Structure 1
């Protein structure tokens, strides 16, 4: 154990001691794509979830009024409007979600300066696990859509406690699609993207995003999918949908979280289920009388999100030595191919067909794409 690891462990034990959980049993949970780690702690028949977020593990963020140039100078977290290592932002977002009747973990204890939170334990019944164990997929997804309808009934709040709710602006959206040319090209295609390819790709996306019909922004979870939702059937209504990993929330288009759920990078969502859940959302939301604008925006944001994910999964494989994420790329490219059929994306479709042909998109060896 290094000196830094030893100091971190000592700080964690001190936090638990002050919170009254010093004698708890520890059960580390499997890691994800972030720099955080979670440990279930149990004591006297009760359990809680310890979040350990090292403060030096992330690039800095930026204030809401920072210019694009200032954000670029600070790095990717600032450009893309991410929370980074800011645990206080997690606390503020959780409080907002609970205030709307949704299920976000209660905060039992917090040391945001050092990056420790002790959270209510929602259990292990992730949507992915619940469905695999026989839960009704349509019921679970219907409840997840109902939670979004609830969340979208009101405009995005200007602030969450002392934090501004960042706008999911063009600077952030374009920074995310740049990940595809920055990481997928060298890691999967085996060559860097040329300057002309990067400029053309970004320019086409800029034009596509400009066609999104205006609509009042709402609270966007930003990573709303089956691995971040926990089914809690003993609760009632939308509170049965436990939410986690929401610290990067922004103010954006209502379609974003809907497509995040229905074009899940980590599990197959059938076209039939996706179509039924989209119809369910439209029938219950403010778009029921005029769905065309929503559907047009949904196609664009779906493609944008999938382009981002393709880049992130390549980055996880190369930079973070997590090659098992590559096994999801064929699924994400299938979603992407469907999204690119939208009229507003015809020029991007042509670009991808020319620069990243279909056989290159799935050229991933099994040994690189498997866990372990």
Structure 2
């Protein structure tokens, strides 16, 4: 037995789960690993993360969400300094799976997503969150310039300042808690619960204090699946109306954050495909690029659109092959 395996066995024994049956679960883009544990009628999830990683932050944000009445997984046992958590098992009903099985549920489930975000955003963001302000939004695009092929590195390096200035010009909202990686494969349907707690939450350790539109665009412009355009339009309109936000300015911010997020994702997926040898992410790039193009068609983003066109090529089949070879 290796050192890490022995450490996990000791952790599970101390938590009373030494004899549990262990089944691997699908992971995510990170180095974290998950297992479902079964002990008679009881179930739990083991999260095995790098010891120097973000497990303490996961615990901190999970506790805040739970205290506010949201459905983060309860923490049954923890050794965050070692990257080990034993979590409540929230089940398998990811929104993406439910919609794939029954496309007729898409509108209803995305309405629940919007309702959850409206409830979440009524709460003051916790003070321990890092700000995702204009400079931070711009700085996140450095990764794209470093990992995605450029037409003009000068144009690519000009984008952070353009993004930051545009955000400062448009934004008037108080920051809220943004889960950041919020989409249909990180949200579970829990119909036995009430209100916003019916949405189970996964993968929120990167949460920040940012604009209310950020998680909305994350959910509705999903890199992994196409959301019906009518549903996206309905939910963005519904959110703005319910939050009392001026529709035209909110639409510009939604487009700005969608473009920024899409550009960042191109860089993340390129890095995953090359440095971390996960080429499956290349297949998602064309969808992400379509979002970027649609967002940059907004008249408030003309300068950014021109600079993006000068900076980055579209992810054609030839370009994706080039990335995979690099």
* 1:364 positional shift: 5.0
SS at match of 1:265: coil
Q: Which moved more, 1:18-27 or 1:128-137?
A: 128-137
* 1:86 positional shift: 2.6
Q: TM-score, normalised by structure 1?
A: 0.82
Tell me how far apart the structure 2 counterparts of residues 30 and 21 of structure 1 sit (CA, whole Å): 21
* 1:365 positional shift: 7.6
Where in structure 1 do 4 or more consecutive aligned residues deviate above 3 Å?
192-195, 354-357, 364-370
Paired residues for 1:36-115 under 5 Å: 36-56=32-52, 85-115=53-83
Matched, 1:197 2:193: no
* 1:236 positional shift: 2.2
2:179 to 221, 224, 231: 221
2:86 to 104, 118, 129: 118
Partner of 2:4: 8
Tell me how far apart the structure 2 counterparts of residues 143 and 226 of structure 1 sit (CA, whole Å): 11
Q: Which runs of 5+ in 2 are unaligned?
A: none
Partner of 1:177: 141
Tell me how far apart the structure 1 counterparts of residues 87 and 49 of structure 2 sit (CA, whole Å): 13
Deviations 1:110-165 (A, max 9, x none): 0111110000001111111111111611111111111100011122121xxxxx11
Q: Which moved more, 1:92-101 or 1:317-326?
A: 92-101
Partner of 1:76: none
Paired residues for 1:137-148 under 5 Å: 137-148=106-117
Partner of 1:30: 26
Tell me how far apart the structure 2 counterparts of residues 200 and 264 of structure 1 sit (CA, whole Å): 26
SS at match of 1:345: helix
Tell me how far apart the structure 1 counterparts of residues 174 and 321 of structure 2 sit (CA, whole Å): 46
- Contact 1:324–1:368 (Cα < 8 Å) also in 2: no
Q: Which moved more, 1:172-181 or 1:11-20?
A: 172-181
Question: What do you get for the CA RMSD once the two structures are aligned?
Answer: 2.1
- Contact 2:151–2:311 (Cα < 8 Å) also in 1: no
Q: Which runs of 5+ in 1 are unaligned?
A: 57-84, 159-163, 186-191
2:120 to 144, 148, 151: 151
* 1:90 positional shift: 1.0
Tell me how far apart the structure 2 counterparts of residues 52 and 211 of structure 1 sit (CA, whole Å): 42
Deviations 1:192-228 (A, max 9, x none): 6655233333333333233232211111111111010
Matched, 1:361 2:315: yes
Aligned length: 323
Tell me how far apart the structure 1 counterparts of residues 161 and 319 of structure 2 sit (CA, whole Å): 32
SS at match of 2:203: coil
* 1:167 positional shift: 1.0
Q: TM-score, normalised by structure 2?
A: 0.93
